[in-house]
Amino acid sequence: MRASFFLKAVFLLALAAAAVCMASLADDLKADPPKKKWKVIYVEGGNYKDYYLVLSGLIHGLKNIGLIDYRTPPAIMDDGNEDTSQLWSWLSINAVSDRLEFLADGYYSAGWNDQKRLEIKKEILRRLNDGNDVDLVLTFGTWAGQDLVTDEHQVPVMSITVTDPVAAGISRTETDSGLDHAHVQVENGRNERQIRIFHDIFKFRRLGVPYDVTPSGQSTMGVPTIRKMAEELGFELVPCETRLEIDDQETSFQNLLDCVSDLSEKSDAIYLTVNNGMQGDRIERILAPIIKARIPSFSQSGSNETELGVLMSLGQDNYNDSSFFEAKVIEAIVNGQMPRQINQIYEAPLTLALNLKMTLAIGWNPPFEVLIAMDEIYQNIGNRR
C-alpha cells in the first residue's frame, strides 16, 4: 500500500514537472522572434554643406534615442566639411547597432551631374527590385527625393532636406506622401517665415534672388514660395536665373557671383538661396558686391552662412532639431510603423541669427527690438578656412 502511494506521488510529481516544462516551452514559442536588422543606403544629388550637417545631426539623434552607438568617437564630424562620403564611410565602419546597418556600398552621389543622376537612379532601382539587401533608403535633397520617392519600388524611403517637397512633386501634400512606403519631411512654412521676417525688418521694395533656371533647381530653392510671398507682401521679385545646380564648382561659383553683382545694383535686398555657388571658402567674394551696395542679405541655408558674413538667417539649431525628428521617424519605421502613417510636418523652433560686422559694413544700425530678438550673433566676415 505504501509502495503504491509512493509510486503515485512520483507519477504526479513527474506530471507536474512535465507541465512546467511544457509551459516554459510554450512561453518560448510565444516570445518575439529576433528583430530585423535594417540595411540602410544613402542617396544625394551631390555634396552640399547642409546635407553633411543634417547627416551628422541624424547620427547624433540615432545615438541619443539608443538605436546606434559608436566604436570610436565621431571625430570626422566637422562643420566645415561637405563630403558626406567620408561621413557615411565612417558610419558604416563604426556604427554599433542590432537594428541598423549602414551599408558600406550603400552611398550614392550624382555629383550634380545630370547623366550620372540617371545612371544612379537605374542602378538603385535595379538593386531595390532585384536584390534583397536594402531595407531603408535615405534620400537627401530634391534630386534624390524626386528619383526615389516613387512607386517604381516598394522599399521604405525617406526624403530629407528638401526646401519644398510638394512643389518639387516629391510629396502629394504636406501631410501625405502619397505612397505607403514613403515618408517626406516637410518643414512647415520655413521659407515663408524667412521672407516675412526679412521684409518686416527692412520693408524692401525689390528683392534680388539668384536661382537655378531649371524646374528642379527652382523647387530646391523654394522659388514658387518666394513668388507667392512677393505677391502677398507687395514687393517685386528681381530674379537672376542661371545654372547653380551643376557639378562644376567653379562655374557654379562664378554664376552666383555674376548674379549677386548684378542684383546688388538692381535690388534693395538680396535673398541668398541654397545653391552650389555658396562656397564657404570663397564667401567674401560673394558678399563684396552686397557690401559695396550697402544692402541687407538673408541666407536661406541658415546661420552657417551668417557666421561667415551674410547679414541674417534663421538659426542653425534647426539642423539638430530636424535631425532628431528624422531619427524618431527611423525608429518608428524599424519598429513596424508604415512610413506614410508617420507625421511628416516638422515644426522648427523660430531662432534668428545676425552678423554684427555686416551691419557695420552696410551701415545699418539695428533697432534694439531686433537685437534682443536674436538668438545667435556673429562678429566676423571671412572665408571658411
Domain match, 232 and 329 both: no
Residue range 146-196, pLDDT digits in tens: 999 999 999 999 999 888 888 888 999 999 999 999 999 998 778 888 999
Strand partners, 240: 210
Are 330 and 249 in a shared domain? no
Question: What pLDDT score does 77 carry?
Answer: 53
What DSSP string describes 172-194? SSSS--SSTTEEE-EETTHHHHH
| pLDDT grade for 80, boundaries at 50, 70 and 90 | low
Q: Is 2 part of any domain?
A: no
Mean pLDDT within 198-209: 96
pLDDT of residue 6: 46
Q: Please name the residue that has the C-alpha cell 535633397.
A: 141
Answer yes or no: is 200 within a domain: yes
Overall average pLDDT of the 79-100 stretch: 86
More confident call, 188 vs 344: 344
- Domain co-membership, 123 together with 44: yes
pLDDT for residue 33 is more than 60: no
Which residue has 547679414 as its cell numbers? 311
* Structural domain boundaries enclosing 154: 38-188+318-346
pLDDT at 5 (0 to 100): 45
Are 236 and 338 within one domain? no
Confidence band (pLDDT; 50, 70, 90) for 26? very low
Is 297 found in the same domain as 327?
no
Q: Is the pLDDT assigned to residue 79 strictly greater than 70?
A: no
| 243 within some domain | yes
Is 7 a domain residue? no
Q: Report the C-alpha gap between 290 and 219 in whole angstroms.
A: 25
- pLDDT over 70, % of the chain: 87
Residues 301 and 358 in one domain: yes
Cell (9 digits) for 5: 502511494
> What is the average per-residue pLDDT within 24-43?
67
State the cell numbers at 245.
545646380
DSSP 219: H
Average pLDDT over residues 294-314: 93
Q: What angle do CA 165, 310, 274 make, to 5 degrees?
A: 20
The three-class DSSP label of residue 369 is helix
| 257 & 357 share domain | yes
**Together in a domain, 135 and 204:** no
Maximum pairwise Cα distance, the chain: 116
Say yes or no to pLDDT of 320 above 90: no
Please count the other Cβ atoms lying within 10 Å of the Cβ belonging to residue 232.
Answer: 12
pLDDT tier at 221, thresholds 50, 70, 90 = confident
Beta sheet of 182-184, edge-to-edge order: 100-109, 38-44, 136-140, 157-160, 182-184
d(CA 360, CA 146): 42
Tracing cell 528583430 back to the chain, one arrives at: 35
- Does residue 208 belong to any structural domain of this protein? yes
DSSP character at residue 99: S
CA-based nearest residue to 42, from 120, 122, 94:
120
**Given this model, what pLDDT does residue 344 score?**
93
**Sequence-distant (≥ 6) Cβ neighbours of residue 191 within 8 angstroms:** 163, 164, 222, 225, 226, 229, 300
Residue 243 phi/psi, 5-degree rounding, is: -110, 115
Mean pLDDT of the region 31-58: 84
Nearest to 88 by CA among 70, 67, 107: 107
Q: Do 195 and 330 lie in a common domain?
A: no
The verdict on 207 and 355 lying in the same domain is yes
Residue 258 within a domain? yes
Q: Which amino acid is at 88?
A: W
What's the pLDDT at 23? 47
Q: What is the mean pLDDT of residues 371-379?
A: 91
Evaluate whether residue 14 is within a structural domain.
no
341 and 262 inside one domain: no
98 shares its domain with 203: no
Give per-residue pLDDT as tens, 225-265: 999 999 999 999 999 999 988 778 899 999 999 999 999 99
Residue 79 lies in a domain: yes
Tell me, what CATH number does 279's domain have? 3.40.50.2300
The residue with greater pLDDT, 29 or 221, is: 221
User: In this structure, what DSSP letter does residue 45 have?
Assistant: S
User: Rounded mean pLDDT of the chain?
Assistant: 86
pLDDT at 74 over 90: no
Tell me how many domains the chain contains. 2
Confidence of residue 20 (pLDDT cuts 50, 70, 90): very low
Distance of CA 254 to the CA centre of its chain: 26
Residue 21 has pLDDT above 50, yes or no: no
